[in-house]
Chain A
Amino acid sequence: MHAAHFTFADGKTLELVVAPGQTVLEAAMTIDAPLRYDCASGSCGACVAQLCDGETEFDAGAPTPLSPAECAAGLRATCMTRLRGDAAFQLPYALEPAPSAPARYQTQVISVERVAASVHRLVLALDDEDFVFQSGQYVRLRPPGSRQARAYSIASAPHTTGGEARLEFLIRHVPDGMMSTWLADSAKAGDRVTLHGPLGSFAHDIRAKRHVFLAGGTGLAPAVSILRQLGEASGPALLCFGCATPDDLFYEAELAELARNNPDLEVRTAVMGGECGDRAQLGTALSLLTPDDVATDAAYYLCGPPPMIEASRAWLDAQGVTPTAIRCERYIPGG
């Protein structure tokens, strides 16, 4: 038996007994410990924690959501991690306020609209006070008549009052994708959508003095959720948002409103090609970031497709940013 000691972002702690052969997450699930997870099979990254002390084992050839650089920096997917002795981990999210345990809910479509050539905005209503999420989390959605579900980050801020919750999603169009086809062809107000969640451990770093978000396409959703929740309490914040073309740009009014309501927030926008006047610069979310924006007391949030995440991580590394100051939410197209 080994002990796994966890420290949450708010300083609260938890100790687990991990039996021989058990993964750290299995030990947590056995006692219904409040650790977040989703797939429990090494692919989603929801259970990732920072190893601070101790030695761990990882089965050769087992799947992992982490890059070699992230592993070298001490990040561990607890679902695939076994202990060689006692170990200490740091979690990226606070214990309190806690999201509700993942469960299945029925929701109703309030609105669906195409906000750019490649993006739909979907708003769902959920009349269940049991559903409580924290900004940065995602859910899995199943449209009516489908057997499959897809994962999407919530773009709205957590509701602060009881009763009906409105959840907003930004959904990228995937040709012939199940969700995309439903949104484009038949989705309408009143449709029933099954939801599983809340899921995921992407969260803002409550210890950071400033926040730098790099968002690619619909990777904007968790960044916006966090910024909406923090509001003026965010401290200095920078959002670098990149899309492929001017036709793919969306949420310009929403981002302008966020910046209006928070004098500490600066929003920069880029497109990779096309003519868009003063709507955006030419480039990527990463190219909007300059060495002057890098600070030792900042947290960096990378939300977008894996190539964007890796390029951003490499650039930040070259600027001397420590891996522990970087948080990632990978967007893998699911249709």
Chain B
Amino acid sequence: MTADAIRLCAADDLADGDMRRFDLDGQDPIVLCRIGDDYLAVDDECTHAIASLSEGRLEGEVIFCPLHGGSFNVRSGKACSLPCKQKLRTYPIEIADGAIWVTP
């Protein structure tokens, strides 16, 4: 496992289709999304305006911002619909010992 990986939660803590925000010390908040057995982490803050994406909704691989309804693909980080244009940062995820680890 990557040396500076940080444990987020147990793999079972997040149900399929769910997402959760994590505030890591000294880092921008990230949102962890579970799609089937895949765990994906992106920046929690929308790149358009100031809004927490974890307060929006996740449909398949697409996360929708609660403020203006723009969306991003959580696998690639790419913006999918206006007014979002700039992509989200994505973070490497590892699964080890039944837990989800992120490298910020």
Is A10 in the interface zone, CB < 8 Å from B? no
| Contact (Cβ within 8 A) A148 B51 | yes
**Residue numbers in A under 8 Å from B52 (CB-CB):** 147-148
| Contact (Cβ within 8 A) A41 B55 | no
Interface size class on chain B is: 10 to 19
The interface size of chain A toward B, counting residues with CB under 8 Å, comes to 16
| Contact (Cβ within 8 A) A29 B50 | no
Residue of B nearest to A139 (CB): B50
Q: Which of A116-173 contact B (CB under 8 A)?
A: 140, 142, 147-149
Contact of A41 among B50, B51, B83, B85 (CB under 8 A): B83
Which residues of B approach A to under 8 Å, CB–CB? 49-52, 55, 67-70, 82-83, 85
- One digit per residue, 1 when the CB lies within 8 angstroms of any chain B CB and 0 when it does not, for chain A 193-220 equals 0101000000000000000000000000
- Interface majority SS (helix, strand, loop, mixed), chain B: loop
How distant is the Cα of A38 from the Cα of B82 in the complex, in angstroms? 11
**Residue numbers in B under 8 Å from A37 (CB-CB):** 83
| Contact (Cβ within 8 A) A196 B49 | yes
How distant is the Cα of A239 from the Cα of B29 in the complex, in angstroms? 44
Number of A-B contacts defined by CB within 8 Å:
35
Central interface residue in B49, B51, B67, B69, by most chain A CB within 10 Å: B49
**Residue numbers in A under 8 Å from B68 (CB-CB):** 38-41
How distant is the Cα of A194 from the Cα of B46 in the complex, in angstroms? 13
- One digit per residue, 1 when the CB lies within 8 angstroms of any chain B CB and 0 when it does not, for chain A 248-271 equals 000000000000000000000000
Give me 8 A-to-B residue pairs in the complex whose CB atoms sit less than 8 angstroms apart, sorted by A's number. A26-B82, A37-B83, A38-B68, A38-B83, A40-B68, A41-B69, A142-B50, A147-B55
| Contact (Cβ within 8 A) A149 B50 | yes
| Contact (Cβ within 8 A) B51 A149 | yes
Q: Which of A166-194 contact B (CB under 8 A)?
A: 194
Q: With contacts A39-B68, A40-B68, A147-B55 known, is A140 near B50, CB below 8 A?
A: yes
